[in-house]
């Protein structure tokens, strides 16, 4: 596959993952009462992750998702945004496993896989990516 096609696939995957993260973060931020209620229900079922630090920092997750998704869409600090997204989604997967919310785990695993693939491809130079895509 030539370099231009690789950049197209990379850019579309990055935009897709960023838009999903932004949308998920905005949905949870706009329906914040529902989100906090869901988190409280999950915390009643926890065995391993049941501590006060996680309980008090969990309301920030939608805003973290939105910010990291925005960074991915804009192409700003891609390396940092991808690695923080992997860390965030790893934690969310473990949290959901502990809470018994097994139906939400595949969504998070797929997105984390996309972040890992994007991070592994090392296409952090946004200007080079754009120049390659615009080349005729």
pLDDT digits (tens, 9 = 90+) for 73-125: 888 788 888 888 888 888 888 888 887 778 888 988 988 888 888 888 766 56
Average the pLDDT over 6-29 and give the result.
85
DSSP 75: T
Q: Compute the mean pLDDT over every residue in the chain, rounded to the nearest whole number.
A: 80
Q: Where are the chain's structural domains?
A: 3-134
- Higher pLDDT pick, 55 / 32: 32
Alpha helices (H) in 60-125, listed in sequence order = 61-74, 78-99, 105-120
């Amino acid at each position: 596959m030539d370099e231009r096609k690789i950049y197209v696939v990379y850019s579309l995957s990055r935009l897709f993952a960023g838009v999903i993260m932004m949308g998920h973060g905005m949905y949870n931020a706009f329906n914040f009462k529902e989100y906090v209620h869901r988190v409280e229900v999950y915390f009643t079922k926890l065995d391993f992750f049941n501590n006060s630090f996680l309980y008090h920092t969990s309301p920030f997750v939608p805003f973290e998702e939105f910010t990291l998704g925005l960074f991915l869409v804009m192409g700003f600090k891609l390396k940092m945004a991808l690695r923080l997204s992997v860390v965030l989604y790893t934690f969310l997967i473990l949290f959901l496993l502990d809470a018994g919310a097994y139906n939400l785990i595949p969504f998070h695993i797929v997105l984390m896989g996309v972040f890992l693939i994007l991070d592994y491809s090392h296409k952090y130079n946004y200007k080079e990516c754009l120049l390659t895509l615009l080349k005729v």
